[in-house]
């Protein structure tokens, strides 16, 4: 009888011990899957086409990240901003290039992201301006944005970032698409149309100088239409992903500086990346821009990395770095 009692007592003790261990292990598993951000040993950086700016910049940044942090980083060519945001949404990469306006549309489920909101992406920082250029020719009679009324104007492909830029800028000036003769042309088609006289003006959003506009300037006298300081302020107040920009005299042979706006090329990351990893990536990039040989590397600065970021939330790792640098 005593032997059976001791056996029963031993069974109860073992059972209780097993339950305690299981509960502890279950708690650890829940903690790791219930919000802790996994540290990574390798990352993919989504860029753009191999002939564009994002791809070589991404390659340089991947090398810097690997050298400075030990994280195995590689740059991947892609369809650029919109595709990159969708790829991050699917969890198929960790870091990507995007324009600030496209990132904003993605996070808010607007325009080309209507019904397809991207909620798992946060900002690392902005890099350099993608300038909105309203291009026409000297002698066209177009001196201001208001003068575009009744004219044939290319605003890029339907649903594109350029099209959104054009509509927002026209809107601030009290102009709708019904007030112009809309043409949906690529940059090359736009400058060909301006040169041949089949269109009057075109919106071009790209880093300056832009090759297509340079080609036009080699044949004709180019004019870039300014946006007044007052309208720039109104535009940024309504659409905070814009930043003020200036196209300097001499670009395309223009006589004086032209005030306009820009969206910014930026880096974004999946928000489930841990804070330390993103902090180290951010620090590596912004403190080693001298290792970027591409011309745009000179424009990448910690001091301007929050310009044009608007309402796009910063990743906590990037926020920690910029706070240490005193950047607001």
pTM (2 d.p.) = 0.79
How far is the CA of 159 from the CAs of 77, 113, 165, 189, 220, in angstroms? 22, 10, 10, 17, 30
Closest by CA to 245, choosing from 231, 234, 229, 261, is 261
- Sequence spans of domains, the chain: 42-128+265-325, 130-263
Q: 95: which strand partners?
A: 45, 269
The vertex-327 CA angle with 323 and 328, nearest 5°, equals 95
180, two tokens:
């112009």
| Residue 33, pLDDT score | 32
How far is the CA of 238 from the CAs of 99, 266, 294, 303, 310, in angstroms? 17, 20, 33, 24, 10
| Residue 157, pLDDT score | 82
- Contact (Cβ atoms closer than 8 angstroms) between residue 57 and residue 97: yes
**CATH code linked to domain 130-263:** 3.40.190.10
Alpha helices by DSSP H, listed for the chain, are 2-33, 54-69, 81-89, 100-108, 161-172, 187-196, 211-217, 229-238, 275-286, 316-325
The tens place of each residue's pLDDT in the chain, 328 residues long, gives 444 444 444 444 444 444 443 444 443 333 333 345 556 899 999 999 887 889 999 999 999 999 999 999 999 999 889 999 999 999 999 999 999 999 999 999 999 999 999 999 999 999 999 999 999 999 999 999 999 999 999 998 887 889 999 999 999 999 999 999 999 998 889 999 999 999 999 999 988 998 889 999 999 999 999 999 999 999 999 999 998 999 999 999 999 999 999 999 999 999 999 999 999 999 999 999 999 999 899 999 999 999 989 889 999 999 999 999 999 8
* Residue the block writes with tokens 């196209």: 247
| Residue 12, pLDDT score | 45
| Residue 310, pLDDT score | 86
- Contact (Cβ atoms closer than 8 angstroms) between residue 133 and residue 245: no
Pick the CATH number of 42-128+265-325 from 3.40.190.10, 3.40.50.620, 3.40.50.1240, 3.40.50.1950: 3.40.190.10
């Amino acid at each position: 009888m005593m032997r059976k009692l001791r056996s029963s007592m031993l069974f109860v003790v073992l059972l209780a011990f097993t339950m305690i261990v299981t509960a502890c292990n279950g708690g650890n598993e829940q903690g790791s899957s219930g919000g802790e951000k996994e540290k990574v040993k390798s990352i993919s950086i989504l860029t753009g086409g191999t002939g564009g700016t994002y791809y070589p910049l991404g390659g340089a940044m991947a090398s810097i990240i690997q050298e400075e942090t030990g994280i195995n980083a590689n740059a991947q060519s892609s369809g650029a901003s919109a595709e990159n945001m969708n790829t991050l949404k699917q969890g198929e990469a960790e870091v990507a290039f995007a324009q600030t306006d496209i990132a904003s549309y993605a996070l808010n489920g607007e325009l080309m992201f209507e019904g397809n909101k991207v909620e798992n992406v946060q900002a690392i920082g902005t890099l350099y301006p993608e300038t909105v250029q309203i291009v026409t020719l000297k002698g066209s009679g177009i001196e201001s944005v208001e003068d575009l009324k009744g004219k044939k104007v290319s605003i890029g492909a339907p649903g594109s970032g350029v099209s959104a830029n054009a509509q927002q800028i026209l809107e601030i000036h009290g102009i709708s698409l019904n007030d112009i003769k809309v043409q949906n042309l690529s940059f090359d088609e736009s400058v060909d149309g301006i040169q041949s006289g089949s269109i009057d003006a075109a919106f071009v959003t790209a880093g300056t100088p832009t090759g297509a506009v340079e080609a036009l300037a080699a044949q004709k006298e180019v004019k870039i239409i300014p946006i007044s300081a007052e309208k720039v302020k109104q535009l940024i107040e309504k659409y905070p992903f814009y930043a003020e920009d200036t196209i300097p005299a001499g670009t395309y042979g223009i006589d004086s500086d032209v005030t306009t706006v820009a969206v910014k090329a930026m880096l974004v990351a999946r928000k489930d990346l841990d804070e330390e990893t993103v902090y180290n990536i951010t620090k590596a990039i912004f403190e080693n821009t001298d290792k970027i040989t591409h011309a745009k590397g000179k424009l990448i600065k910690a001091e301007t990395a929050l310009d044009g970021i608007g309402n796009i939330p910063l990743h906590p790792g990037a926020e920690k770095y910029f706070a240490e640098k005193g950047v607001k």
